[in-house]
C-alpha cells in the first residue's frame, strides 16, 4: 500500500505531470501565469478543489455508479453516466465550497477568490476524476492521486510564471512576443519534464 | 427503453438533489453584506489603481462604509465625487488637495551624455549597472518603468525622458514607487512651476553631462516675488510647494539652462530653446 502511494505521488507530480505530459489544464496554465502571485493563488485553489473532487467522485463511482442493479429482469449498469455525473458533482461541490468559505474563512475566500469558479469547468479536475476511474483506484489512492496531480500542476504553473516574469524583461523578437514565446517556453519545460520518464 | 428512463431519472434526481443542497447551504451560510458597499463601489472611479492603499475600489468602498476610511482617500475621484459619497453615507469628508506626479528631470537624449547600454530594458535593471547609461547619476534613465507602471497612461516617453501629462495624472503614486532614482514627486496640481533637475552635484559637473541641469545660478530666486518661493538646497533650486511662485516666474527668470519650466508646457511640447 505504502509503495503504491509513493509511486502515485512521484508519478503524478513529476513523471506524468498533468500540464507538461498529459496536456490537461493548459488554459489556466497560460491564462494565470503572467504573475507569480496569481499563479500561487490559482495553485492553492487547484490543490484544494482537486483533492476534494477526487475524494467525492471516486466515492460516488465506487458506491453508486459501479454497482449494477436489476429492474424487471434487466441488469442496469450506470457507468456510462460517469462523465456527466462527475461534471455536475464537481460544479456543485465548488459552489458549495465557495459558499462555506465565504461564511467561515473570508481571508481564504479572498485569497482563492476568483479562481474557485474558474476551476469549476477545468479539464484537469475532471481529468483527475476520470483517470482515477480508468486506473481503478480506491478512494484513498484516488484522493492521493488528485492531490499529487494538483501539486504537479502547481509546480508547473509556478515554474512557468517565474519564467514568464523573467521573459517580460527580455528582448523578444516582435512576432514572438506575448503568448507565442510563452508557448515555446512551455514546450521546452515539457521536454525538461520528459527527463523524469521511466522514474516510476 | 428502461435504461434510458433510468438514466434520465438518475440524472434528474442528482440535479435536484445537488440543487437542493446548494440552495440549503446558500440559505444557511448566507453572509450579510451591506448593500451600501456596492453602491459606493459604483460611485468610485473603478480604476482599481491601489493609490488609496486598499486592494482596489471595492475594498476601499468597504472601508468607507465601515467608517475605516475617508472618501477623499481616492486619488482618482474629483472632490465632487468624494462629496457625493459622503452625502450618500451621511458623513463628512475633508477636502484633499489634488496632486500630480512630477518627474524632476529634463535630460532627454539630445541634451545628455549617454553611454551605450545593451542590457535589460527596464530602469530598475539599468540602475543596478553603474546607475544607468546616463552621464548624470541622478536623472531619468529613460527605460519607461514608470510609464509601464502608470495605470492611466499619463507618462509619455519623449526622447528618452519620462514626461508626465498633468491632465491625465491623478496622483496615485504608482510611478513614485517604481522609479529607482526616486526622481518622481507628488506635487500640488495647482503649482505649475517646477525645477526639472534632481542632481545635487556642483553646477559645472552637471553641465558637463546635461545641458538642462539646474546650476543654482539663483536667477529664479531673485526674480521671484519673494525669496521664499524658491528654496536652494546646495547646488539645486527647488520650488517651495507651501508658498509656490506664480507661473509668470518662468518668463521673468529666463532660466539659462531651461531647467525651470511650467509642467503644462513641459508636457505639451519638447523644449526647443536649449542654451548652448
> What are the beta bridge partners of residue B158?
B161
- Pair B112, B144: CB distance under 8 Å: no
pLDDT band at B32, cuts 50/70/90? confident
Query: B31 CB near a chain A CB, below 8 Å?
Result: yes
Query: B59 CB near a chain A CB, below 8 Å?
Result: no
Mean per-residue pLDDT for B232-260?
87
Task: Map out the domains of chain B with their CATH numbers.
Answer: 35-89 (1.10.15.40), 99-268 (3.30.70.20)
Residue B155: CB partners within 8 Å, gap ≥ 6? B101, B103, B144, B146, B147, B162, B163, B164, B165, B169, B175
Comparison of pLDDT for A153 and A102, the residue scoring more: A153
Closest approach of B200 to chain A, Cα-based (Å): 31
Note the ipTM here: 0.77
pTM: 0.64
Residue B54, pLDDT score: 85
Torsion of CA B7, B13, B16, B18, to 10 degrees: -90
Closest approach of A9 to chain B, Cα-based (Å): 32
Give me the total of CB pairs closer than 8 Å, taking one residue from chain A and one from chain B.
51
pLDDT > 60? residue B273: no
- CA–CA dist A148, B55 (Å, integer): 32
Identify the residue among A92, A108, A116 best suited for mutation to test binding to B, counting B beta carbons within 10 A and taking the highest.
A92
Q: Grid coordinates representing B121?
A: 530594458
pLDDT > 60? residue B274: no
Amino acid at each position: 500500500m505504502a509503495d503504491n502511494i509513493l509511486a502515485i505521488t512521484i508519478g503524478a507530480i513529476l513523471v506524468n505531470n498533468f500540464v507538461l505530459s498529459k496536456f490537461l489544464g493548459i488554459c489556466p496554465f497560460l491564462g494565470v501565469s503572467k504573475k507569480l502571485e496569481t499563479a500561487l493563488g490559482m495553485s492553492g485553489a487547484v490543490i484544494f478543489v482537486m483533492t476534494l473532487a477526487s475524494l467525492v467522485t471516486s466515492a460516488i463511482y465506487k458506491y453508486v455508479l459501479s454497482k449494477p442493479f436489476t429492474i424487471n429482469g434487466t441488469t442496469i449498469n450506470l457507468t456510462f453516466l460517469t462523465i456527466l455525473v462527475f461534471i455536475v458533482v464537481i460544479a456543485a461541490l465548488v459552489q458549495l465550497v465557495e459558499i462555506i468559505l465565504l461564511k467561515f474563512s473570508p481571508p481564504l475566500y479572498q485569497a482563492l477568490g476568483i479562481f474557485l469558479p474558474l476551476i469549476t469547468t477545468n479539464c484537469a479536475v475532471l481529468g483527475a476524476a476520470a483517470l482515477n476511474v480508468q486506473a481503478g483506484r480506491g478512494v484513498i489512492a484516488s484522493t492521493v492521486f488528485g492531490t499529487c496531480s494538483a501539486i504537479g500542476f502547481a509546480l508547473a504553473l509556478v515554474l512557468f510564471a517565474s519564467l514568464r516574469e523573467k521573459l517580460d524583461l527580455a528582448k523578444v523578437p516582435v512576432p514572438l512576443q506575448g503568448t507565442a514565446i510563452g508557448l515555446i517556453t512551455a514546450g521546452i519545460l515539457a521536454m525538461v519534464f520528459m527527463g523524469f520518464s521511466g522514474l516510476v | 427503453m428502461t435504461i434510458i428512463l433510468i438514466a434520465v431519472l438518475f440524472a434528474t434526481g442528482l440535479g435536484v438533489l445537488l440543487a437542493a443542497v446548494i440552495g440549503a447551504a446558500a440559505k444557511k451560510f448566507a453572509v450579510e453584506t451591506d448593500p451600501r458597499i456596492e453602491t459606493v463601489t459604483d460611485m468610485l472611479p473603478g480604476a482599481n489603481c491601489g493609490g488609496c492603499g486598499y486592494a482596489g475600489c471595492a475594498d476601499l468602498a468597504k472601508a468607507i462604509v465601515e467608517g475605516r476610511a475617508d472618501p477623499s482617500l481616492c486619488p482618482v475621484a474629483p472632490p465632487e465625487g468624494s462629496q457625493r459619497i459622503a452625502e450618500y453615507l451621511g458623513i463628512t469628508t475633508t477636502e484633499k488637495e489634488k496632486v500630480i506626479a512630477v518627474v524632476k528631470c529634463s535630460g532627454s537624449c539630445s541634451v545628455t551624455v549617454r553611454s551605450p547600454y545593451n542590457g535589460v530594458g527596464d530602469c530598475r535593471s539599468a540602475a543596478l549597472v553603474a546607475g544607468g547609461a546616463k552621464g548624470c547619476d541622478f536623472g531619468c534613465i529613460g527605460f519607461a518603468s514608470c510609464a509601464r507602471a502608470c495605470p492611466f497612461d499619463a507618462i509619455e516617453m519623449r526622447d528618452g525622458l519620462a514626461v508626465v501629462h498633468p491632465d491625465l495624472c491623478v496622483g496615485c503614486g504608482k510611478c513614485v514607487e517604481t522609479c529607482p532614482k526616486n526622481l518622481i514627486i507628488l506635487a500640488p496640481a495647482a503649482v505649475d512651476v517646477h525645477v526639472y533637475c534632481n542632481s545635487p552635484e556642483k553646477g559645472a559637473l552637471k553641465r558637463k553631462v546635461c545641458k538642462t541641469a539646474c546650476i543654482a545660478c539663483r536667477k529664479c530666486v531673485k526674480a521671484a516675488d519673494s525669496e521664499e518661493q524658491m528654496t536652494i538646497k546646495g547646488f539645486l533650486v527647488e520650488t517651495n510647494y507651501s508658498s509656490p511662485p506664480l507661473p509668470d516666474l518662468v518668463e521673468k527668470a529666463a532660466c539659462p539652462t531651461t531647467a525651470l519650466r511650467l509642467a503644462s508646457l513641459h508636457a505639451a511640447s519638447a523644449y526647443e530653446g536649449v542654451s548652448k
